[in-house]
Amino acid sequence: MIELTSLSGKKLWVNPHQIETIEAKPDTTIVMVYGKTMVVAEKPAEVVAKIIDYRKSISSFGESD
């Protein structure tokens, strides 16, 4: 899950595997694969960076140093 912020300041935890699109309208609008939309305070590039960090973190599970 990635942490995002609604425009009202509420913290949201979103499953990045369920994100279909991210749009700037000008506020960042996330459309989920099941049709729900949410508007968040983060810029699209910030959301993408959080998704990348999340995916890097889960791909390292089980790897030893």
- pLDDT tens across 9-61, in order? 999 999 999 999 999 999 999 999 999 999 999 999 999 999 999 999 998 76
At residue 21, φ and ψ (nearest 5 deg) are -140, 155
Gap between the Cα atoms of 65 and 35, Å rounded: 41
Residue pair 30/38 in contact (Cβ under 8 Å)? The answer is: yes
49 found inside a domain = yes
Q: What is the dihedral of CA 63, 52, 4, 35, to 10 degrees?
A: -110
pTM: 0.87
Q: What is the largest CA-CA distance in the chain?
A: 43
65 found inside a domain = no
Total domain count, the chain: 1
- Token representation of residue 54: 């999340």
Structural domain of 45: 2-59
